[in-house]
Amino acid sequence: MSLGREHERRHLARFPNALDLGGLPIGERVERTREEVAAGERVVYQGALRAETRLADTEVEIVGVPDFLLPARRGYAIRDSKLSRRVKGHPEIELQLALYGWLYERTLGEPPVAVQVHTGAGTVDDVPYEGAEEALEALEAILRIRLDSDPPHEVVGWSKCSSCGYFERCWPEAVKQRSIGLLPWVDRGLIGELDSRGVNTIDELLRRYDAESLAKIERPWGSRRQQVGPKADRILASARALAEERPIVLRPPVIPEHPNYVMFDLEGLPPPLDELEKIYLWGLQVFGERPGESRAAVAGFGQTGDREGWEAFLQEAEAIFAEHGDIPFVHWATYERTKIDLYLSRYGDRDSIAARVKRNLLDLLPIAYESVALPTSSYSLKQVEKLAGFERQLTDAGGEWSMARYIEATETPDERLRTAIMDEILGYNREDLEATWGVLSWLRQDNKTDG
Ligand code: SF4
Whether 373 and 265 share a structural domain: yes
Whether 163 and 39 share a structural domain: no
Look at residue 395 in the predicted model and tell me its pLDDT. Answer: 73
451, part of any domain = no
- Would the pLDDT of 398 be above 60? yes
Q: Contact, 347 vs 304, CB < 8 A?
A: no
pLDDT in tens, 203-223: 999 999 999 999 999 999 988
In this structure, of 96-100, 148-152, 286-290, 423-427, the range with the lowest mean pLDDT score is 148-152
Whether 231 and 272 share a structural domain: no
Mean pLDDT of 365-390: 93
Whether 163 and 122 share a structural domain: no
Q: Which residue has the higher pLDDT, 122 or 451?
A: 122
- Would the pLDDT of 449 be above 60? no
SS3 300: coil
CATH code for the domain of 239: 1.10.150
Task: Output the furthest CA–CA distance in the chain (Å, rounded).
Answer: 79
Whether 333 and 207 share a structural domain: no
Number of domains in the chain: 3
User: Which of 106, 122, 146 delimits the end of a domain?
Assistant: 146
Whether 203 and 56 share a structural domain: no
- Residue whose CA is at the smallest distance from ligand 1 atom 7: 166
- Would the pLDDT of 3 be above 80? no
255, part of any domain = no
CA distance 105 to 111: 5
Q: How remote is the CA of residue 387 from the centroid of ligand 1, in Å? A: 25
- Residue whose CA is at the smallest distance from ligand 1 atom 3: 161
Region class of 158: left (phi > 0), else alpha (psi between -120 and 50), else beta: alpha
Whether 205 and 81 share a structural domain: no
239, part of any domain = yes
CA distance 181 to 9: 42
Whether 189 and 43 share a structural domain: no
Mean pLDDT of 345-355: 96
Question: Residue 392 corresponds to which amino acid?
Answer: R
- Would the pLDDT of 64 be above 90? yes
CA distance 143 to 137: 10
- Would the pLDDT of 451 be above 60? no
Positive or negative: CA dihedral 272, 274, 278, 283: negative
Q: Within a 10 A sphere around the Cβ of 115, how many other Cβ atoms? A: 24
Does 166 sit in the ligand 1 pocket, CB within 6 Å? yes
Q: Contact, 180 vs 204, CB < 8 A?
A: yes
User: Which of 103, 122, 146 delimits the end of a domain?
Assistant: 146
214, part of any domain = yes
Instruction: For 16, list phi and psi in degrees, rounded to 5.
Output: -60, -25
Report helix, strand and coil shares of the chain as percent, to nearest 5. Answer: 45, 20, 35
Whether 127 and 14 share a structural domain: yes
pLDDT in tens, 175-186: 999 999 999 989
Q: Within a 10 A sphere around the Cβ of 104, how many other Cβ atoms? A: 28
- Would the pLDDT of 422 be above 80? yes
286 Cβ contact partners less than 8 Å away, ≥ 6 residues apart: 260, 261, 262, 263, 292, 320, 323, 324, 327
User: Ligand 1, closest atom to CA 164?
Assistant: 2
Find the Cα–Cα–Cα–Cα dihedral 270, 402, 419, 323, rounded to 10°.
Answer: -80
User: Which of 95, 113, 146 delimits the end of a domain?
Assistant: 146
- Residue whose CA is at the smallest distance from ligand 1 atom 6: 170
254, part of any domain = no
Mean pLDDT of 247-254: 93
- Would the pLDDT of 249 be above 80? yes
Instruction: For 185, list phi and psi in degrees, rounded to 5.
Output: 55, 35
- With the most atoms of ligand 1 within 8 angstroms of its CB, the residue from 146, 158, 167 to mutate is 167
Mean pLDDT of 340-355: 96
Residue 310's domain comprises: 260-446
Which residues, in sequence order, are bridge partners of residue 126?
116
- Would the pLDDT of 450 be above 50? no
Nearest CA among 428, 429, 407, 414 for reference residue 278: 407
pLDDT-derived band at 355, boundaries 50, 70, 90: very high
- Would the pLDDT of 272 be above 70? no
Does 161 sit in the ligand 1 pocket, CB within 6 Å? yes
281 Cβ contact partners less than 8 Å away, ≥ 6 residues apart: 266, 267, 268, 296, 297, 298, 299, 309, 406, 425, 426, 429
Pairing of strands 68-71, 218-221: unpaired
Look at residue 447 in the predicted model and tell me its pLDDT. Answer: 59
230, part of any domain = yes
152, part of any domain = no
Whether 29 and 88 share a structural domain: yes
Does 159 sit in the ligand 1 pocket, CB within 6 Å? no
Does 170 sit in the ligand 1 pocket, CB within 6 Å? yes
State the alpha helices, DSSP H only, in 152-219. Answer: 158-161, 167-177, 188-196, 202-208, 211-215
Whether 184 and 293 share a structural domain: no
Q: Contact, 211 vs 233, CB < 8 A?
A: yes
Q: What is the pTM of this model?
A: 0.79
Residue 309, classified by CB atoms within 10 Å of its CB into exposed (0-12), middle (13-18) or buried (19+), is buried
Whether 136 and 209 share a structural domain: no
Percent of the chain with pLDDT over 90: 80
251, part of any domain = no
Look at residue 274 in the predicted model and tell me its pLDDT. Answer: 59
